[in-house]
Structure 1
Amino acid sequence: MQLHRTMRNHLTVPVAAVAILAGAPAAAQDSASVQLEVLQTKISELQKEVATLKRDITKEGQEGVRAAKQAAATKIAPPFKEPSIRMSTSNRPTICSSDGRNCISLTSRLQLDFGGYNYRPNTAATTPQDLIGGVIARRAQFGVIGTFLDDWEYSFVFEGGGSGGATSVVLDKGYLTYSGFKPLKIWGGVLSVPYTLDRATSNNNTTFMERAAPVEVAAGIGAATRSALGITANDRQWWAGAFLTGPASGRTSLDARQTAATGRAVFLPVLANDASLLIGGDVQYLFDAPTGASELNLRDRIEMRIDGNRILGTGALPIDSARVLSAELAGTLGSFHFQGEYFDFNVERLPGNGPGLDFNGYYVQGGYIFTGEKRSYSTSSGSYGGVVPSRPFDWRTGGWGTWEIAARYSMVDLNDKDVLGGRQENLTLGLNWYVNRNIRFMFNYINGRVDKRNSGGDVGAAYQAISARAQIAF
């Protein structure tokens, strides 16, 4: 509209001039020629102005279209959000995508053990003749764990510690899980197989520095940390899982033929804030022994791992198969907690190597937390978790952390027929100081003995051991 008005105003004068020239007398031709030149000049200037106006209008229109497109794009495209960097509830440094569906966390665990033995072999034929105390990094782990697209979880953790001192860094865990089919969870990789109550409890949260000997003997057959494929499921008051397992983590190719299966199921008829009761059962079956010779050695240390020697053990047994049945009972009442497990072992030897063998073992333990905290049940693992201090240690505010006392008796008997693996008994007393969520100090005293004989006579021993652990884990 503005362009039309401008053109109309500028064209009025030349149109009127042309009308006057049309009616002028011929005698005024010279004067008319001059006026015509003037008018032609003005018309040329007006044409230039019209062209300029057209260009301005076209430019303004294009800019308006671009602005409209940008406004529409802004409305359609969501604003970019930066990934979040935070600390998890267990103080793990964690990076998550803006929608929270993908996260990766650093995880680490350091357990420094200090201790010594008062070891008394029964005879000169006992092996070993001495156990050496000292300091070891029982566990020195570092790795990453995380989730992606909500339903996938992964873990890659390397271990630089070990019983009796580490010699190299090995892959401790490396597995992937999928939980898209609720309440099922599918596992695959190298992992700590959740077999038995004590093994389902993280070593970050166990009441004592080491698990009971019968637990370790059973897990060493076809569980513990090894390659595995399995499935678990749980709800608030039950947990169940089954795994097919292979060789242990870090083992050689000679052990690749090892194949076993484990199953575990627990039920909690009581699960309240101040009380709980867990009842469970486990089964394990070894199809193929760990070496080409089909040999299996049931053995363990004396529930303190600073010295790597073992006095309890059957020696290599040529076997056809092995089976373990076990039962679990555990619970809490306020700040008091208890648990126990019983194990029944059966080993079938290869034809021509003797009859089948039956062994057994069990442990019972209890603990009390002086400062009022409780051990809570973990629905995801079907076991009891650790202790989180309500008042972490801080001398400025008067917080002294959490203190716990505990006691355990364990027994495992590996004597049957012509196999004399020994009978081991341990009484362990423990004192735990939970400084905060990530740091704790543990103190254990063990009084035990191994009754063992061979063709040469008594090869048993009695012992006492005292140990301490400084632990930091996140």
Structure 2
Amino acid sequence: MIKTRRAAAFLAVSLALVPPASAGNDTFEGMVGPYGERLRYDEKGLTLTFPDPDVTLNIGGRLHIDAGAAGFSRRGLPEAFPDNVAVRRSWFEPTLTIGRDWVIAFQYDFSDPVLPINDAFVAWKGLPDTILTLGNMKVPFSLEWLQSNNDTLFAERSLANAFVPDRRFGFAIGHHGQAWTAAAGVFGNAASNGISGDGVAVAARATVAPILNEDEILHLGLAGIYRRRSRSDDDFSLSTQAEASLFARSFVDTGDLPDVAQATRIGAEFAYRNGPLLLQAEYIHAEIERFEGLGGPLPVLSFQGGYVEAGLVLNGKGRSYTMTPQGGTTYATFKGVIVPEGQRVSRGGIGVFEVAARYSSIDLNARGFRAGSERDVTLGLSWYPEPNLRLIANYIHGRVQPSETQSDALSRTSFSVDTIITRLQIYW
């Protein structure tokens, strides 16, 4: 059953608002109003423009619905999925653009009662090749994280994404050249959590594309986050849900770590695209330092994770590479698969198909601290029948050494888990 009534209501509204282009109809563009305003309704959602002053309001959204099943290699483990069908995301996304210099973006997730506010920022682009952003945004760290969840190769990001913080409130500056980007910022806690309670972080990311042309791209990146915390801040934890949000719990989990003084993360990125083929990999290393206890200094906890993945578009063009965002820190990322007009199902085509494979791992064991480790192999198939529609099927085989911080049957010995996840993805 669907998790929340709010998400179910958003489902009905979303299906009603799917742009007519997805159903094979022509784009609707209203007549010019008394002030020169014009309403457009297409695959990008609703767009209202005013010529004087130059103002554009776009109302977009996304709806991701997951269904799946999972099985464990040994008996006696807790139930895998409390619900076999759930709304993963139900986002409302208005964006206001004022002239060439100002962008105001907002995203609200009706299906997330804990962190409903995603992007909520004001960006200024008045300096050459530079964007200044204030508000709630993604911290500049990890190519996989900075890619839109509409465009990732699989239904969920890799196990290594456990090291990446959610969106945070802060100030960031980004700059780019012809084939390079750099972004840095200072961040507190998430806006949904009241900004405070997680210390202050400094984050930076730099990328370069030694090969950058229409058919071939080589991407290299390096990023880091240093977060300093006080004893009064909230507890700190790291965990992952095995690349499927339907799981009732995490298999590897540090639990709440009190008195974390510093958290440092370093990540290295690699990506290569040649025509319809995309190869991508990342490695992330994290170190957690805690305040000195009654018995003396506590050991530094070192964790690591990473992934290697490949995607191939079977009957279409490869994914495009975007150097700069509208605002925020999402520089140098790969976009989604394009569905040409003649290949749309509504035009008599078969859509576009993409296959993908990934190996990912995470290790949360350090110096007698056993929070678990996991290795996953994932196979994926995506079908894009229309520009606003994607259907995903993933098979995941995971090998888990569970966390010893768990107190039930899950923590007794290693096990494997096989998972099938499907997703209906609508976005505009």
For the aligned pair, the TM-score class normalised by the smaller chain equals: 0.7 to 0.9
In structure 1, C-alpha distance between the alignment counterparts of 2:352 and 2:234, rounded to whole Å: 48
Q: Is 1:219–2:164 an aligned residue pair?
A: yes
1:94 lines up with 2:47 in the alignment: yes
Q: Which moved more, 1:292-301 or 1:316-325?
A: 292-301
Number of positions where the alignment pairs a residue of Structure 1 with one of Structure 2? 381
**Residue type at the aligned position of 1:82:** G
Instruction: Measure the CA separation in 2 of the matches of 1:283 and 1:168.
Output: 26
Matched residue type, 1:106? I
Distance 1:391 1:400, change over 3 A: farther
After superposition, the C-alpha distances for 1:128-152 in whole angstroms (9 at most, x for unaligned) are 5644441111000113102113201
How far does residue 92 in structure 1 lie from its aligned partner after superposition? 2.3
The structure 2 residue matched to 1:387, chosen from 337, 356, 371, is 337
Task: Give the counterpart of 1:325 among 266, 287, 296.
Answer: 266
Unaligned runs of 5+ in 1: 1-79
2:224 is aligned, of 253, 271, 283, to 283
Structure 2 gap ranges (5+): 1-33, 325-330
* RMSD, matched Cα: 2.3
2:129 corresponds in structure 1 to 183
Q: Residue in 2 aligned with 1:345?
A: 286
CA contact (8 A) 2:73 2:417 kept: yes
Q: Deviations over 1:88-113 (max 9, x none)?
A: 7x522211112572111111110011
Does residue 468 of structure 1 match 2:425? Answer: no
C-alpha separation in 1, matches of 2:342 and 2:94: 26
Deviation at 1:393, TM superposition (A): 5.1
Query: Displacement of 1:228 after TM fit?
Result: 2.0
Q: Kindly state the Cα deviation for residue 257 of structure 1 after the two structures are TM-superposed.
A: 4.7
In the TM superposition, what whole-angstrom CA distance separates every residue of 1:45-91 from its partner, at most 9, and x where no partner exists? xxxxxxxxxxxxxxxxxxxxxxxxxxxxxxxxxxx861222247x52
TM-score (norm 2): 0.83
In 2, the alpha carbon distance for the partners of 1:286 and 1:307 equals 29
1:106 aligned to 2:84?
no
Q: What SS does the aligned partner of 1:420 have?
A: strand
What is residue 200 of structure 1 aligned with on the other side?
146
* Structure 2 partner of 1:117: 70
2:180 counterpart letter in structure 1: W
Higher mean displacement: 377-386 or 241-250: 241-250
> Is 1:262 equivalent to 2:203 in the alignment?
yes
User: 1:434 is matched with which residue?
Assistant: 384
Structure number with higher helix proportion: 1
Task: Tell me the CA shift for residue 402 of structure 1.
Answer: 0.6
Contact 2:344 2:386 in 1 (8 A): no
Alpha-carbon distance in structure 1 between the residues aligned to 2:117 and 2:347: 42
Match for residue 241 of structure 1? Answer: 183
Question: Within the alignment, does 1:136 sit opposite 2:89 as a pair?
Answer: no
In structure 2, the CA distance between the partners of 1:144 and 1:365, relative to structure 1 (3 Å rule), is: same
Q: How many Å apart are 1:156 and its aligned residue?
A: 2.0
CA separation in 2, counterparts of 1:106 and 1:219? 28
What whole-Å deviation, never above 9, does each CA across 1:399-452 have from its counterpart, x for those lacking one?
111100000000010101121111111111000011222111111110002113
Shift of 1:284: 0.7
Tell me, yes or no, if the aligned pair for 1:288 and 1:294 is still in contact at 8 Å.
no
Q: What letter matches 2:222 in structure 1?
A: G
Q: Quick one: which of 454, 465, 473 aligns to 2:404?
A: 454
Look up the SS of the partner of 2:193 in the other structure.
coil
Equivalent position of 1:44 in the other structure: none
Change (3 A) 1:421 1:282: same
* Contact 1:205 1:387 survives alignment (8 Å): yes
Question: Of the two structures, which has the highest relative contact order with CA contacts closer than 8 Å and spacing of 6 or more?
Answer: 2
Partner Cα separation in structure 2 for residue 155 and residue 265 of structure 1: 24
Deviations 1:201-224 (A, max 9, x none): 011111111111112x2113xxx2
Question: Do the aligned residues in 2 keep the contact of 1:294 with 1:319 (CA within 8 Å)?
Answer: no
Pairwise CA distance, 1:256? 3.0
Counterpart for residue 9 of structure 1: none
Going from structure 1 to structure 2, the CA distance change for 1:333 and 1:250 (only over 3 Å counts) comes to: same
For the pair shown, which has the larger CA radius of gyration, 1 or 2? Answer: 1
Range with bigger deviation, 232-241 or 415-424: 232-241
In 1, Cα distance between equivalents of 2:116 and 2:403: 36
SS of 2:244's partner is coil
Instruction: Select which of 363, 373, 380 maps to 1:413.
Output: 363
Give me the whole-angstrom Cα distance separating, in 2, the residues matched to 1:454 and 1:204: 35
Distance 1:396 1:156, change over 3 A: closer
Cα deviation code 1:297-342 (max 9, x no counterpart):
1111111001341121112223210111110000101111010000
With 439-448 and 255-264 compared, the bigger mean Cα shift is at 255-264
Closer, same or farther: CA 335–324 of 1 in aligned 2, 3 Å: same
**Which residue does the alignment assign to 1:400?**
350
Tell me the SS of whatever aligns to 1:435. Answer: strand
Tell me if structure 2 keeps the 8 A contact 1:391–1:402: no
Asked whether the equivalents of residues 205 and 221 of structure 2 are also in contact (C-alpha less than 8 Å), the reply is yes
Q: Which residue of 2 aligns with 1:51?
A: none
Look up the SS of the partner of 1:208 in the other structure.
Answer: coil
